[in-house]
Structure 1
Amino acid sequence: MAQDVRGVIAPGKNEPVRIETVVVPDPGPGEAVVQVQACGVCHTDLHYKEGGISDDFPFLLGHEAAGIVESVGEGVQDIVPGDFVVLNWRAVCGQCRACLRGRPWYCFNTHNARQKMTLTDGTELSPALGIGAFAEKTLVAAGQCTKVDPAVSPAVAGLLGCGVMAGLGAAINTGNVGRGDSVAVIGCGGVGDAAIAGSRLAGAAKIIAVDIDDRKLTTAEKLGATHTVNSRETDPVEAIRELTGGFGADVVIEAVGRPDTYEQAFYARDLAGTVVLVGVPTPEMKLDLPLLDVFGRGGALKSSWYGDCLPSRDFPMLIDLHLQGRLDLGAFVSETIGLDEVEAAFERMRHGDVLRSVVVL
């Protein structure tokens, strides 16, 4: 039987969010209903609210979530009711050309629940990133549920569902940061700070944090940055080169998603070094680089999709590292809030006052 729950809705472009009654259907084949315990407030949710991703309003916001599987549909075998799971927005298909070549983290046919959650008047909701977890319960594809150790706090675990995993994976999976490497991270929000934490976890010898906000640079130091550069005051390319013997960093991770910061990343890397773009650009942005420089500097220019993660592999491993005290995921949680405080959390996010607000249900 369908259930009525409370959820945070973005009704229209740039309109304030509001709490509405959301109708969650019983799970169909390959689907699961999850009782949400915690969900992070991510910039992506703000982009949905502002109409920066699509105009498929109304949106059911929230996607960085963890909770308990309540029920599953026909054919679901990997999870059962009672499992503690982190939700992911890329349920791999297992059948596309990437999956069949043994590269499921590049799956070209990821999927979500087939059924739609609705308002009580039947209006269909568009769940953020196919999840919609600013709600007491949500309907997802079973493949979007990744079992992890239930000893972890839900407020911490849910952050792996998007931003923290994107940053950690940009360093570890995409950038292949290794022991003794020098790394520069441009942009020290949640994703950039996660890239810093991932670089430290991978054994990087020098980790240079770049941002225009000294508050963010202070946080970056707490998460593993060995050096900081305020790019409002100092040319970041020159500063990174100076800190790396004049050569540039082995890996530069761009976590802003702008042409000017990408160009900084390109010229701040060592010859044959790697640039990783994990910041998300907007559709109108263009990049203008001399092709001879692209050729002459060698190395690799990579884009990182969701940290090139495989949730079934990476989520349990990272939770285990956290529980062992080797990865402080709790450092990313600035505050815990209720469902009715999401709009205010967006304002604090805009002003750079928080690293992550987390809705706890």
Structure 2
Amino acid sequence: MTTPRQPPPRRVWRVALLAVTGAAIAGAAAVYVDRRLRAAPPDQPSSPPPPDKPAEQPARRPERRLWIVAGTAVLVAAAITVTVVTRSPGDTSVPVVATPTPTATTAMRLVDCQFAIAAATGQNVRTTCGYPAGNPEASFREQSADRSDPRFFGAALPDALATDSAACVVDTPAPKEVDIVYPTLSASFVQVPGLRRIEPTFQLTEANTPVSLTIERAGSPIGPGQQAELSLRLIQPLEQGKTYMWRVKGTPQDVAAGDWSPWCLFTVAEETRDDLGLADEEDYQVTIPVAGWRTVLRAQRPDEAHLDPIADAAGKKSGSAAVSLTGAEWTSVITRLASQASLNDEPEYWEMVDTLSSALGGHPHPTMGLPRDTP
């Protein structure tokens, strides 16, 4: 295979150019002097030489010497050029062939990047659009996108954010409160004609102490006019009484384009609709009428071992009975009650959900994350 001939390095061209320029100047000087000498009248002797003394030969004109000098300059310039071009690779003073300086990849404009990503969807080729590869640890320190930056003009930037359907007011010192530990984060994007797909990325962290919780997840791809959503029920519950902040961008995790939305802050209430806030291993005791325990037992699966205390209480003839279970067992019992209440539209089951939750210090009307009409 023939190796393509590399063009001479830039330094070689400069030296060659200087040599040729020097030769040209020397030649021009010689021509100028020659013309001046030709124009001057020849020297006239004041008197003829004596007859007994031979006439002296006229002195040689200096232009011949100048032409010799000029020709020498040309030869020297040519020799310098040949020496520079053919210098040995071992001589580090001037390399034979300069190694091309690698040029940094120019990052695409964001809108062009989003179109390229949409076009590559479904293929095994991923593009970073010339941006550095995404790094979740570093990306949490990135600033939000400056919408006046020309890189972002015409792109699908995040337009509106909402936490559990509550619109987010960015950069506010008073975070919105949500009464759910599994909120759904949602965002809409500026619509761009012809852009048929956006691959969003979400970030969530605890406010003021980001080391305690950092979550970066890819949202499901969305089409024009659709909202990007991330349900924390698929990830992990948040803690009651704590403040969190989240943001979103319209590019995948591995594209560090810096197109982040501003941060959206929210606080999880001390009592939430979808979680009892109980410690899994800690024991809790509830006392209610025997009739209530019978209703609770009817909604449960009969083969679960932790139901034995409830079955014993339900077997009493009358009065009230106390039942002790761990936090995890109470969560299972009440979630099962809520599931049957939501599925079969059983008000009696919802009533027992409220009774047990209140007795355990939880929300007065929990949903356990299931559909429920407002009481």
Query: Which TM-score applies when normalising by structure 2?
Result: 0.28
Structure showing greater relative contact order (alpha-carbon pairs closer than 8 Å, 6 or more residues apart)? 1
- Of structures 1 and 2, the larger Rg is shown by 2
More strand by share: 1
